Structure 1
Amino acid sequence: MSTTVCVVGTIATDPRTITFAGRATFSTFRLAATERRYDRDRAQWLDGDTNWFTINSFRGLAEHAGESFMKGDRVIVHGRLRIRAWENEGKSGTAVEIEADSFGHDLRWGTSSFTKDASRAAEPVDAGSVDTESTGSEPSEPELHGTESDQADDAEDTDDEQLGAGDHDLAGIKFSSGALLPSAA
Protein backbone atom coordinates (compact mmCIF):
# COMPACT_ATOMS: atom_id res chain seq x y z
CA MET A 1 0.00 0.00 0.00
CA SER A 2 1.24 3.49 -0.76
CA THR A 3 0.30 6.86 0.66
CA THR A 4 -0.57 9.55 -1.88
CA VAL A 5 0.50 13.08 -0.99
CA CYS A 6 0.35 16.55 -2.50
CA VAL A 7 3.15 18.90 -1.42
CA VAL A 8 3.77 22.56 -2.26
CA GLY A 9 7.32 23.79 -1.87
CA THR A 10 10.45 25.32 -3.35
CA ILE A 11 12.97 23.37 -5.43
CA ALA A 12 16.17 23.47 -3.38
CA THR A 13 18.59 21.77 -5.81
CA ASP A 14 19.06 21.91 -9.55
CA PRO A 15 16.95 19.10 -11.05
CA ARG A 16 19.18 16.28 -12.28
CA THR A 17 17.97 14.27 -15.29
CA ILE A 18 19.65 11.02 -16.30
CA THR A 19 18.80 8.83 -19.29
CA PHE A 20 20.11 5.30 -18.93
CA ALA A 21 21.08 3.44 -22.13
CA GLY A 22 18.15 1.24 -23.10
CA ARG A 23 16.22 2.22 -19.98
CA ALA A 24 13.89 4.92 -18.73
CA THR A 25 14.77 8.55 -18.04
CA PHE A 26 15.06 9.49 -14.36
CA SER A 27 14.88 12.95 -12.77
CA THR A 28 15.41 13.96 -9.15
CA PHE A 29 15.52 17.12 -7.05
CA ARG A 30 15.15 18.17 -3.41
CA LEU A 31 12.03 20.06 -2.31
CA ALA A 32 11.72 22.26 0.78
CA ALA A 33 8.18 22.67 2.11
CA THR A 34 7.99 25.23 4.91
CA GLU A 35 4.89 25.65 7.02
CA ARG A 36 3.79 29.27 7.37
CA ARG A 37 1.33 30.71 9.82
CA TYR A 38 0.00 34.14 10.60
CA ASP A 39 0.71 35.46 14.11
CA ARG A 40 -2.09 37.87 14.95
CA ASP A 41 -0.29 39.27 18.00
CA ARG A 42 2.71 40.32 15.88
CA ALA A 43 0.61 40.96 12.75
CA GLN A 44 3.09 39.06 10.56
CA TRP A 45 3.68 35.74 8.85
CA LEU A 46 6.10 33.35 10.55
CA ASP A 47 8.00 30.40 9.13
CA GLY A 48 7.51 27.08 10.85
CA ASP A 49 9.42 23.85 10.40
CA THR A 50 10.74 22.86 6.98
CA ASN A 51 10.09 19.37 5.64
CA TRP A 52 12.58 18.06 3.08
CA PHE A 53 11.63 15.65 0.31
CA THR A 54 13.54 14.00 -2.50
CA ILE A 55 11.32 14.10 -5.59
CA ASN A 56 11.83 11.32 -8.14
CA SER A 57 10.16 10.96 -11.53
CA PHE A 58 10.53 8.63 -14.49
CA ARG A 59 10.10 8.49 -18.28
CA GLY A 60 8.30 11.43 -19.93
CA LEU A 61 7.53 13.15 -16.65
CA ALA A 62 11.25 13.14 -15.83
CA GLU A 63 12.13 14.63 -19.23
CA HIS A 64 9.55 17.39 -18.76
CA ALA A 65 10.79 18.15 -15.23
CA GLY A 66 14.35 18.53 -16.50
CA GLU A 67 13.22 20.97 -19.18
CA SER A 68 10.73 22.92 -17.03
CA PHE A 69 12.10 23.29 -13.50
CA MET A 70 15.09 24.96 -11.92
CA LYS A 71 16.34 25.68 -8.44
CA GLY A 72 14.14 28.24 -6.66
CA ASP A 73 10.90 27.42 -8.53
CA ARG A 74 7.73 27.04 -6.46
CA VAL A 75 6.04 23.77 -7.45
CA ILE A 76 3.17 21.46 -6.54
CA VAL A 77 4.04 17.76 -6.45
CA HIS A 78 1.50 14.91 -6.39
CA GLY A 79 2.76 11.38 -5.89
CA ARG A 80 3.44 8.37 -3.69
CA LEU A 81 5.26 8.87 -0.40
CA ARG A 82 8.15 6.50 0.35
CA ILE A 83 9.98 6.54 3.69
CA ARG A 84 13.04 4.34 4.07
CA ALA A 85 15.90 3.99 6.52
CA TRP A 86 19.47 4.23 5.19
CA GLU A 87 22.92 3.50 6.54
CA ASN A 88 26.28 4.44 5.02
CA GLU A 89 29.76 4.29 6.58
CA GLY A 90 28.48 4.29 10.16
CA LYS A 91 25.94 7.06 9.54
CA SER A 92 22.22 6.39 9.36
CA GLY A 93 19.09 8.34 8.67
CA THR A 94 15.67 8.35 7.11
CA ALA A 95 15.00 9.26 3.48
CA VAL A 96 11.64 10.81 2.69
CA GLU A 97 10.93 10.51 -1.03
CA ILE A 98 7.98 11.19 -3.30
CA GLU A 99 7.66 9.28 -6.55
CA ALA A 100 5.88 11.93 -8.59
CA ASP A 101 2.78 11.13 -10.62
CA SER A 102 2.44 14.77 -11.69
CA PHE A 103 3.78 18.19 -10.86
CA GLY A 104 3.75 21.76 -12.05
CA HIS A 105 4.55 25.33 -11.14
CA ASP A 106 2.65 26.94 -8.24
CA LEU A 107 0.83 29.76 -10.04
CA ARG A 108 0.15 31.60 -6.81
CA TRP A 109 3.70 32.98 -7.08
CA GLY A 110 4.07 33.61 -10.80
CA THR A 111 3.06 32.63 -14.30
CA SER A 112 3.97 29.66 -16.43
CA SER A 113 3.74 28.80 -20.10
CA PHE A 114 2.66 25.31 -21.20
CA THR A 115 3.98 23.66 -24.35
CA LYS A 116 2.35 20.38 -25.30
CA ASP A 117 4.76 17.54 -26.09
CA ALA A 118 4.03 16.80 -29.76
CA SER A 119 5.32 13.22 -29.46
CA ARG A 120 2.70 12.46 -26.80
CA ALA A 121 -0.24 14.33 -28.36
CA ALA A 122 -3.30 12.23 -29.05
CA GLU A 123 -4.40 12.07 -32.66
CA PRO A 124 -7.90 13.44 -33.29
CA VAL A 125 -10.56 10.85 -34.01
CA ASP A 126 -12.31 11.21 -37.36
CA ALA A 127 -16.06 10.63 -36.86
CA GLY A 128 -16.20 8.97 -40.28
CA SER A 129 -13.70 6.33 -39.19
CA VAL A 130 -15.80 4.98 -36.30
CA ASP A 131 -16.45 1.25 -36.69
CA THR A 132 -20.27 1.13 -36.80
CA GLU A 133 -20.42 -2.61 -37.44
CA SER A 134 -19.08 -3.50 -33.96
CA THR A 135 -21.32 -0.98 -32.16
CA GLY A 136 -24.43 -1.58 -34.24
CA SER A 137 -25.23 2.10 -34.43
CA GLU A 138 -24.33 5.11 -36.50
CA PRO A 139 -22.29 7.94 -34.98
CA SER A 140 -24.57 10.77 -33.94
CA GLU A 141 -24.22 14.49 -33.38
CA PRO A 142 -24.43 15.75 -29.80
CA GLU A 143 -27.98 16.52 -28.75
CA LEU A 144 -28.64 20.25 -28.34
CA HIS A 145 -31.71 21.77 -26.74
CA GLY A 146 -33.13 25.07 -27.93
CA THR A 147 -31.75 27.38 -30.57
CA GLU A 148 -28.23 28.76 -30.63
CA SER A 149 -29.66 32.11 -29.54
CA ASP A 150 -31.38 30.48 -26.52
CA GLN A 151 -28.14 28.72 -25.56
CA ALA A 152 -26.16 31.97 -25.79
CA ASP A 153 -28.77 33.75 -23.61
CA ASP A 154 -28.61 30.93 -21.04
CA ALA A 155 -24.81 31.13 -20.92
CA GLU A 156 -24.92 34.90 -20.38
CA ASP A 157 -27.55 34.52 -17.63
CA THR A 158 -25.41 31.93 -15.85
CA ASP A 159 -22.29 34.11 -16.05
CA ASP A 160 -24.02 37.28 -14.88
CA GLU A 161 -26.32 36.00 -12.13
CA GLN A 162 -25.63 34.58 -8.72
CA LEU A 163 -28.02 32.05 -7.25
CA GLY A 164 -30.47 33.69 -4.91
CA ALA A 165 -32.49 32.19 -2.06
CA GLY A 166 -34.88 29.37 -2.89
CA ASP A 167 -34.69 25.89 -4.35
CA HIS A 168 -32.32 25.15 -7.24
CA ASP A 169 -31.50 22.10 -9.33
CA LEU A 170 -27.95 21.95 -10.69
CA ALA A 171 -26.99 18.87 -12.69
CA GLY A 172 -29.47 16.74 -10.75
CA ILE A 173 -28.31 17.98 -7.32
CA LYS A 174 -31.05 19.86 -5.54
CA PHE A 175 -30.07 22.52 -3.04
CA SER A 176 -31.71 25.34 -1.19
CA SER A 177 -29.91 28.49 -0.02
CA GLY A 178 -26.55 26.70 0.04
CA ALA A 179 -27.74 23.49 1.72
CA LEU A 180 -27.67 20.21 -0.22
CA LEU A 181 -30.96 18.37 -0.35
CA PRO A 182 -31.49 14.77 -1.44
CA SER A 183 -32.49 14.57 -5.09
CA ALA A 184 -35.97 13.18 -5.73
CA ALA A 185 -35.38 10.61 -8.44
Structure 2
Amino acid sequence: MNGTMVTLVGNAATAVEFRDTATGGMARFRLAVTPRRRDRETQLWTDGPTSFYTVWAWRTLATNLAASVAIGEPLVVHGRLKVREEERDDGRRTFVDVEAVAVGHDLSRGTAAFRRVVRTEPALTSALRSGTDGASGGDSGASQTLSEGPAERVTERAAVS
Protein backbone atom coordinates (compact mmCIF):
# COMPACT_ATOMS: atom_id res chain seq x y z
CA MET A 1 0.00 0.00 0.00
CA ASN A 2 1.35 3.41 -0.92
CA GLY A 3 1.31 6.32 1.46
CA THR A 4 3.47 8.82 3.23
CA MET A 5 5.05 7.15 6.26
CA VAL A 6 6.18 9.44 9.09
CA THR A 7 7.85 9.04 12.46
CA LEU A 8 6.87 11.63 15.07
CA VAL A 9 8.45 12.23 18.48
CA GLY A 10 6.29 14.12 20.97
CA ASN A 11 4.06 13.90 24.03
CA ALA A 12 0.56 12.51 24.52
CA ALA A 13 -1.54 15.68 24.73
CA THR A 14 -4.84 13.93 25.53
CA ALA A 15 -5.97 10.73 27.15
CA VAL A 16 -6.39 7.76 24.85
CA GLU A 17 -10.02 7.30 23.79
CA PHE A 18 -10.81 3.61 23.25
CA ARG A 19 -13.87 2.02 21.66
CA ASP A 20 -14.77 -1.54 20.78
CA THR A 21 -16.00 -1.85 17.20
CA ALA A 22 -17.32 -4.75 15.14
CA THR A 23 -13.83 -5.30 13.69
CA GLY A 24 -11.90 -4.86 16.95
CA GLY A 25 -10.63 -2.00 19.07
CA MET A 26 -10.18 1.60 17.92
CA ALA A 27 -8.14 4.16 19.83
CA ARG A 28 -7.16 7.75 19.24
CA PHE A 29 -5.27 10.48 21.04
CA ARG A 30 -3.61 13.81 20.25
CA LEU A 31 0.17 13.99 20.00
CA ALA A 32 1.96 17.31 20.60
CA VAL A 33 5.23 17.71 18.69
CA THR A 34 7.46 20.66 19.56
CA PRO A 35 10.77 21.08 17.72
CA ARG A 36 13.71 22.29 19.83
CA ARG A 37 16.58 24.24 18.34
CA ARG A 38 19.81 25.61 19.71
CA ASP A 39 20.00 29.38 19.26
CA ARG A 40 23.56 30.09 18.07
CA GLU A 41 23.53 33.63 19.40
CA THR A 42 22.31 32.94 22.94
CA GLN A 43 23.60 29.34 23.13
CA LEU A 44 20.23 28.35 24.61
CA TRP A 45 17.66 25.80 23.50
CA THR A 46 14.40 27.30 22.26
CA ASP A 47 11.05 25.72 21.47
CA GLY A 48 9.54 26.08 18.03
CA PRO A 49 5.79 26.11 17.35
CA THR A 50 3.91 23.04 18.58
CA SER A 51 2.04 20.93 16.03
CA PHE A 52 -0.79 18.60 17.04
CA TYR A 53 -1.62 15.32 15.31
CA THR A 54 -4.53 12.95 15.88
CA VAL A 55 -3.11 9.44 16.13
CA TRP A 56 -5.44 6.55 15.23
CA ALA A 57 -4.81 2.89 16.07
CA TRP A 58 -6.83 -0.23 15.33
CA ARG A 59 -7.29 -3.75 16.71
CA THR A 60 -4.46 -5.06 18.92
CA LEU A 61 -2.42 -1.86 18.73
CA ALA A 62 -5.48 0.12 19.89
CA THR A 63 -6.05 -2.16 22.87
CA ASN A 64 -2.40 -2.12 23.93
CA LEU A 65 -2.19 1.65 23.41
CA ALA A 66 -5.16 2.28 25.70
CA ALA A 67 -3.56 0.10 28.39
CA SER A 68 -0.13 1.73 28.10
CA VAL A 69 -0.27 5.48 27.41
CA ALA A 70 -1.20 8.40 29.68
CA ILE A 71 -1.28 12.17 29.15
CA GLY A 72 2.16 13.81 29.08
CA GLU A 73 4.15 10.67 28.32
CA PRO A 74 6.89 10.99 25.68
CA LEU A 75 6.13 8.84 22.64
CA VAL A 76 7.49 7.81 19.26
CA VAL A 77 4.75 7.21 16.67
CA HIS A 78 5.30 5.64 13.26
CA GLY A 79 2.48 5.52 10.75
CA ARG A 80 0.72 6.67 7.61
CA LEU A 81 0.16 10.43 7.30
CA LYS A 82 -3.36 11.51 6.31
CA VAL A 83 -4.42 15.10 5.68
CA ARG A 84 -8.12 15.90 5.60
CA GLU A 85 -10.11 19.09 5.20
CA GLU A 86 -13.51 19.85 6.66
CA GLU A 87 -15.93 22.68 6.12
CA ARG A 88 -16.98 24.17 9.45
CA ASP A 89 -19.12 27.13 10.51
CA ASP A 90 -15.95 29.20 10.94
CA GLY A 91 -14.52 28.18 7.56
CA ARG A 92 -12.45 25.40 6.05
CA ARG A 93 -10.13 23.58 8.49
CA THR A 94 -7.24 21.21 7.82
CA PHE A 95 -6.53 18.24 10.09
CA VAL A 96 -3.44 16.05 10.10
CA ASP A 97 -3.91 12.45 11.24
CA VAL A 98 -1.51 9.53 11.59
CA GLU A 99 -2.78 5.97 11.22
CA ALA A 100 -0.31 4.30 13.58
CA VAL A 101 1.65 1.21 12.68
CA ALA A 102 3.76 1.35 15.87
CA VAL A 103 3.72 3.43 19.06
CA GLY A 104 6.28 3.29 21.84
CA HIS A 105 7.62 5.30 24.73
CA ASP A 106 10.60 7.56 23.98
CA LEU A 107 13.35 5.85 25.98
CA SER A 108 15.68 8.85 25.60
CA ARG A 109 13.43 10.52 28.20
CA GLY A 110 12.73 7.68 30.63
CA THR A 111 12.52 3.94 31.15
CA ALA A 112 9.80 1.41 30.40
CA ALA A 113 9.01 -2.21 31.24
CA PHE A 114 7.57 -4.28 28.39
CA ARG A 115 4.86 -6.86 29.10
CA ARG A 116 4.07 -9.38 26.36
CA VAL A 117 0.33 -9.98 26.09
CA VAL A 118 -1.09 -13.45 25.51
CA ARG A 119 -4.69 -13.83 24.40
CA THR A 120 -6.49 -16.70 26.05
CA GLU A 121 -8.98 -18.64 23.94
CA PRO A 122 -10.59 -21.81 25.31
CA ALA A 123 -9.90 -23.86 22.15
CA LEU A 124 -6.33 -22.63 21.91
CA THR A 125 -5.66 -23.13 25.61
CA SER A 126 -6.93 -26.72 25.58
CA ALA A 127 -4.97 -27.47 22.40
CA LEU A 128 -1.77 -26.15 23.97
CA ARG A 129 -2.34 -28.21 27.13
CA SER A 130 -2.93 -31.42 25.17
CA GLY A 131 0.00 -30.81 22.83
CA THR A 132 -2.16 -30.87 19.70
CA ASP A 133 -2.73 -28.09 17.24
CA GLY A 134 -6.48 -28.00 17.90
CA ALA A 135 -7.33 -28.52 14.23
CA SER A 136 -7.26 -31.48 11.92
CA GLY A 137 -4.72 -31.58 9.16
CA GLY A 138 -2.20 -28.88 9.84
CA ASP A 139 -0.83 -25.99 11.78
CA SER A 140 -3.44 -24.01 13.69
CA GLY A 141 -1.40 -20.80 13.64
CA ALA A 142 -1.20 -20.90 17.44
CA SER A 143 2.11 -19.04 17.56
CA GLN A 144 0.67 -16.22 15.46
CA THR A 145 -2.41 -15.97 17.69
CA LEU A 146 -0.27 -15.91 20.82
CA SER A 147 1.94 -13.08 19.60
CA GLU A 148 -0.92 -10.93 18.31
CA GLY A 149 -3.35 -11.06 21.23
CA PRO A 150 -4.99 -7.97 22.75
CA ALA A 151 -4.15 -6.57 26.16
CA GLU A 152 -5.69 -8.48 29.04
CA ARG A 153 -7.52 -5.52 30.55
CA VAL A 154 -7.63 -2.00 29.18
CA THR A 155 -8.70 -0.65 32.56
CA GLU A 156 -5.79 -2.26 34.42
CA ARG A 157 -3.47 0.76 33.90
CA ALA A 158 -6.16 3.23 34.95
CA ALA A 159 -6.56 1.39 38.24
CA VAL A 160 -2.80 1.57 38.90
CA SER A 161 -2.36 5.25 38.02
- Same topology, TM > 0.5: yes
Q: Does 1:62 align with 2:62?
A: yes
| Matched ranges for 1:83-122 at <5 A | 83-119=83-119
Deviations 1:38-95 (A, max 9, x none): 1132121000121110000000000000000010000000000000111233532001
Which residue number corresponds to residue 176 of structure 1?
none
Which residue number corresponds to residue 3 of structure 2?
2
Code of the aligned partner of 1:75: L
Code of the aligned partner of 1:18: R
The runs of 5 or more residues in structure 2 that have no matched partner are: 121-161
Q: How many residue pairs are counted as aligned between the two chains? A: 119
| Matched ranges for 1:10-49 at <5 A | 10-20=11-21, 22-49=22-49
The runs of 5 or more residues in structure 1 that have no matched partner are: 121-185
Aligned with 1:81: secondary structure? strand
| Structure-1 separation of matches of 2:68 and 2:87 | 33
Q: CA deviation at 1:118?
A: 1.2
Q: CA deviation at 1:100?
A: 0.1
Q: Does 1:51 align with 2:51?
A: yes
| Structure-2 separation of matches of 1:5 and 1:90 | 30
| Structure-2 separation of matches of 1:85 and 1:106 | 30
Identity of aligned residues (%): 36
| Structure-1 separation of matches of 2:91 and 2:104 | 34
Deviations 1:130-157 (A, max 9, x none): xxxxxxxxxxxxxxxxxxxxxxxxxxxx
| Structure-2 separation of matches of 1:92 and 1:12 | 24
Deviations 1:79-138 (A, max 9, x none): 000001112335320010000000100001100110001129xxxxxxxxxxxxxxxxxx
Change (3 A) 1:41 1:90: closer
Q: CA deviation at 1:26?
A: 0.4
Code of the aligned partner of 2:34: T
Aligned with 1:49: secondary structure? coil
| Structure-2 separation of matches of 1:115 and 1:10 | 21
Which of 1 and 2 has higher RCO (CA within 8 Å, sep 6+)?
Answer: 2
Greater Cα radius of gyration, structure 1 or 2: 1
Code of the aligned partner of 2:6: V
Code of the aligned partner of 2:45: W
Aligned with 1:8: secondary structure? strand
Change (3 A) 1:92 1:73: same
